[in-house]
Chain A
Amino acid sequence: MKNPAIIFVTLSVAIFVFCAAFLKNPPAPRFHPVERVWSMPDNPSAGPAMGWYGRTGVALGAAMVVSGISLAVLSYVNRKKPFTLKATSIYALTAAILLCLAVSMVGIVREQRNWFTKKPAVHTPDHEY
């Protein structure tokens, strides 16, 4: 694979799909580190859960499947006629990727806003200073 246009479009597809799946946050397995078990959100196990592994794994899986299809299609097209992108298309796609990454980061920050407004538990010292 020597054509940067194919890799660039495939990477763009991977980033768009990953960000969309990551923000959508579909039901994914959660890991319970104390019990060392996995569970689905609709059938939760006891104890603190970690959703990051499942969320990242599902988004990465979706990105790999769709970008793999994109790579196969573009490679096929490239064999018939060399696949190229105009400079304006590359700049436009780059701007779209930047926007996608920025929107994803804003979405992540918004997701976590409850942690910044939550009042901490009252701490009662067990001795006087």
Chain B
Amino acid sequence: MQSLPFEPISKALLFLHLAAAFVALGSCVHLLARFTYALRGAYFPQVKLHARILAISYTVVFVLGGLIYPTFRIRVRHDYLDAALPWATGLFEIKELGASIALIPAIGVWLLVRLIDFRASEHRPYIFACMIFAGAVLTVLVYNAWAGWYLGTLRSI
């Protein structure tokens, strides 16, 4: 059988994809909690650290997903899901396209948080904006984690 790009190491990449996704989910939940406290006037210096971790881990998840994708596209989607479970292909397509949509907000939170003075009242609207960005990213991450797990129960690479 002809080998696909990155197929020999696809299982290792999939594990790293999963690990980075857990890091991204955790940092995003922490970030949202910190923003909620910040809007009430409390400041946690870890906000900038969590934002940096979210941006890096999301980018890593995104790139690793892109590397695994050729193997998934042929061995799972083409050979099984498209014909036998077309709705599962629909779930996957929403997952991958949603991941692209959330990429700029995930990196954008970090870029913006670096410049916010959390003690200045005139910067509170920016904290709110960061909260919306992080909320959008968390929504995509939760769906993608669920869809990734569920599709893996049907067939994996």
Contact = CB atoms under 8 A, between A and B. Distances in A.
A76 interface: no
Interface stretch (B26-34, B37-45, B51-59, B93-101): B93-101
B111 A108 contact: no
- Size range of the chain B interface in the assembly: 35 or more
Given A4-B115, A53-B66, A56-B100, A48 B73 contact: yes
Interface string A90-129: 1101100110010011001101111110111101000000
B136 A52 contact: no
A5 to B, nearest CB: 8
Q: B interface, by DSSP: helix, strand, loop or mixed?
A: helix
Contacts of A104: 101
A89 B143 CA distance: 31
The number of chain A residues touching the other chain, given as a range, is 35 or more
B100 A33 contact: no
Contacts of A53: 66
B100 A59 contact: yes
Contact of B73 (A2, A33, A93, A105): A33
A115 B136 contact: no
Interface string B88-119: 01100110111011111100100110011000
Given A33-B5, A104-B101, A105-B101, A115 B128 contact: no
B115 A115 contact: no
Contacts of B97: 22, 52, 108, 111-112
Contact of B132 (A59, A98, A108): A98
Nearest to B125: A90
Interface string B63-91: 00010011101100010000111110110
B104 A52 contact: no
Interface of A: 1-4, 7-8, 11, 14-15, 18-19, 22, 31, 33-34, 36, 48, 50, 52-53, 55-56, 59-60, 63, 85, 87, 90-91, 93-94, 97-98, 101, 104-105, 108-109, 111-116, 118-121, 123
